[in-house]
Amino acid sequence: MLCPDLEQATAAIIAVGRAFDARNWAPATSGNYSIRLADGRVAITVSGRHKGRLTSDDVMTVDLDGRALDGKKPSAETALHAMLYRRFPEVGSVLHSHSPASVGMTRALRGATGWTVAGHELMKAWPGVGTHDHAVTLPIVDNSQDMAVIAAAIDPLLVAAGDPPAYFIRGHGLYGWGRDIAEAERVVEATEWLIEAERAERAFRSMA
């Protein structure tokens, strides 16, 4: 169900910002978070604000093309949120984390267009995954200062991967989404954990 009003959405965004900051997923002013409102607007973090110290003034509204509706300045990456809302009518929230693990992993996988994970119980935190006996590929797209370039590059990768609930921008971080902000947070948290688990497994294998 879509968030009924801006006040509720703002409170949820502030809470996620504090949680992500505590996990080192939102250093400096990185990351951005949004919620689709029941009236069709999107509540999203204002450009350049520290996500661990958000207030109600740090959340603004845009339309589904990413245009500001209240005179505040949206992040350039608002276009990536808007693209996902237009593409997936059921999506109610988009969250962008910026963890060292996701940035480092995508930089290490130079040239790769996806990261495939299989066999993990925690994959069931992703929507539509009901068993560990499964493989999911999350797309990786190269970074750009032009959001239209990223949006155009990621769309066919999402189709090819079967529309997973997340993707990476190389050297930039993770985008995850869900039917509401709670589901989007589960997607991001599970994905970040899976990166760490895969890294730990490789470290233990090197010791064997």
**Is 98 annotated for ligand binding?**
yes
Distance CA 100, CA 189 (A): 14
What sign has the CA pseudo-torsion 121, 123, 125, 127? negative
Is there a contact between 64 and 81 (Cβ–Cβ < 8 Å)?
Answer: no
Contacts of 133 (CB under 8 A, 6+ apart): 119
**Is 96 annotated for ligand binding?**
yes
Is there a contact between 38 and 2 (Cβ–Cβ < 8 Å)?
Answer: yes
Annotated binding site for Zn(2+): 96, 98
Per the annotation, where are the binding residues? 96, 98
